Chains A and B, each alone.
Chain A
Amino acid sequence: MKATGEQTIQHFQDCCKKYNKLFIPDSPRQEAVAKAIADFYESELLFKAIESFIKTRTGPFLVFDFAVESKSFIDRVIFDGKSESKFQAILEETRKRMTDEL
């Protein structure tokens, strides 16, 4: 599913508020940039990547700054997701094995 540019900017602002970091409005550029990244990435991945970006950087933030580095943050979200799924699968296998042994 894809988000809209407005939803992306809103999420960006919400994350800045959540982590107490400064968001710098950048109209009219940010609308065009947000639309471009929203059209390009799946919303779930995009929103996670935005949150990770804001959480790990010190700020202040422009939507444009994220857009430039979006690829590496999206890749990291994908890697994290795979790793988490692997952990859950191993956990489930271990639980099954241990239950069978009892």
Chain B
Amino acid sequence: MNYELRVLNSLLNSGNYVEAVNEGIENVFIEYRDIWNFVVNHYDEHKKTPSKDTVKHHYPDFEFINTPEPLLYYLTEAKKESLSYQTRQIISKANNMLKDMGPKEAMAYLMQSTSQLYKFSSSLKDTDLVSEWKERAGDLRERSMQEARDIPGIPSGINVLDKSFGGWQPGDFVVLLGWTGVGKSFIARLFAANAWRAGYRPLIISLEMNKQQEGQRLDTLLNNGEGHFTNTDLVKASKHIVDSYEKWAEKTFEGKHPIYLVTSEGLETADQNMVQAKIDQYHPDMVILDYHGLFDDASGAKNETEKAKNLSKAFKRMAVKNGIPIIDVAAVTMSEGHSERPPELEEVAWSKQLAYDADLVLAIHREYNSDVFQVVSRKVRRSTHFGFYLRWNLETGKWAEEWEL
């Protein structure tokens, strides 16, 4: 590749190895990767870029050319050319797969490869915090003038959570933790419903329930105890509520912004690439993933613990890269029953990775058939710990936060 030759020559001419590495030069080499590796090893050993003579000695066929422009010029050109080359390769291979293996395999390959390529193409977002202080000051001034907003992020709708944590902010990775069957999914939907009421567009990726069940659950939540219908009415399709449901639904949903729902119906695989693809498709304001254990790992984990770890890391990166909050529902199981309290982080097999990645871990518990949810933070990255009760009638959707029982 000519661009590889040009950028290597520019590096050897300028000797500016550090600048080249900081700008992500290592990603552009394919044909000249052996020479690049030689430069890296030489720098590691001797703390300097090798001279042209040294390179000539080891690689007599290497062609030296004149590079009159600054190193950055050749780097930018190389990155653009390399990205174009790799994109063409992916498209070409996907086209062959389409003919030989079929559309599903071709799409899976495309999603995985483009996602990896995107990481490479967007990996140069490093900044110098010292020189960018003016931008931060400007951002602070702008946010301080937004008096109408009580909290910086998307409201959860729960007073104590919003005041303590500041709502769901861009890049937040939030984990809802609880024993199986305590109502984590309900709480995740409550966050989605409350965000939607506040004008935001949530994306729910639900691998546990189908479209109809999700619709009924969300309707009940948005009904919020107003008495138009109960969850059982919706499940059993009670005749006497059909008209009132229709009126309520029209008033509630007509002309409003969307709530995106992706269920596992028709999905062959549900991994981190699929999640990224859905984010790219819908551009939501927040994402709810339900639940962690049901997602596949595209990076080829060998066991469940590794899978949980890989997914945790991937979802956190995704939240930061896309600048949106991601709420991940994670079930906790014990070999023999479980305790009647919210789980502690150390009780989860893969808790360390979650603890590293999460900005907030909320542990949730509800005793069997109780309408009281105990919610407590197990990790909070930007405030002190908090806890509260939610008294919630899952049948009518009515809920309230409480301090004492």
Contact = CB atoms under 8 A, between A and B. Distances in A.
Nearest to A84: B341
B163 interface: yes
Contacts of B350: none
Interface string A59-102: 00000000000000000100110011001001101110110010
A51 to B, nearest CB: 11
Contact of A93 (B336, B337, B342, B384): B384
Interface in B371-391: 374, 376-377, 384-389
B344 A94 contact: no
Nearest to B338: A56
A66 B159 CA distance: 45
Nearest to A57: B336
Contacts, number: 51
A79 B344 CA distance: 10
Contact of B376 (A57, A76, A80, A87): A87
Given A57-B336, A90-B377, A94-B160, A83 B341 contact: yes
A55 interface: yes
Nearest to B383: A97
Contact of B387 (A57, A76, A91): A91
A55 B368 CA distance: 14
A71 B285 CA distance: 49
A56 B334 CA distance: 11
Contact of A90 (B339, B344, B385): B385
A75 to B, nearest CB: 12
B67 interface: no
B27 interface: no
B305 to A, nearest CB: 22
Contacts of B388: 91, 94
A18 B341 CA distance: 21
A88 to B, nearest CB: 8
Interface residues of A, number: 18
A98 to B, nearest CB: 6
Given A56-B336, A87-B376, A101-B163, A94 B341 contact: no
A56 to B, nearest CB: 4
A87 B384 CA distance: 13
B133 interface: no
A55 B342 contact: no
A94 B403 CA distance: 9
Interface string B167-185: 0000000000000000000
B114 interface: no
B164 interface: yes
Contact of A98 (B163, B336, B376, B377): B163
A101 B404 CA distance: 18
B387 A94 contact: yes
A83 B344 contact: yes
B369 to A, nearest CB: 16
A57 B337 CA distance: 8
The 10 closest A-B pairs by CB, nearest first: A56-B337, A90-B387, A94-B386, A91-B387, A95-B403, A56-B336, A80-B339, A90-B385, A87-B376, A84-B341
30 contacts: A56-B336, A57-B336, A79-B339, A79-B344, A80-B339, A80-B340, A80-B341, A83-B339, A83-B344, A87-B341, A87-B376, A87-B387, A90-B376, A90-B386, A90-B387, A91-B376, A91-B387, A91-B389, A91-B403, A93-B385, A93-B386, A94-B160, A94-B164, A94-B386, A94-B387, A94-B388, A94-B403, A95-B403, A97-B386, A98-B163
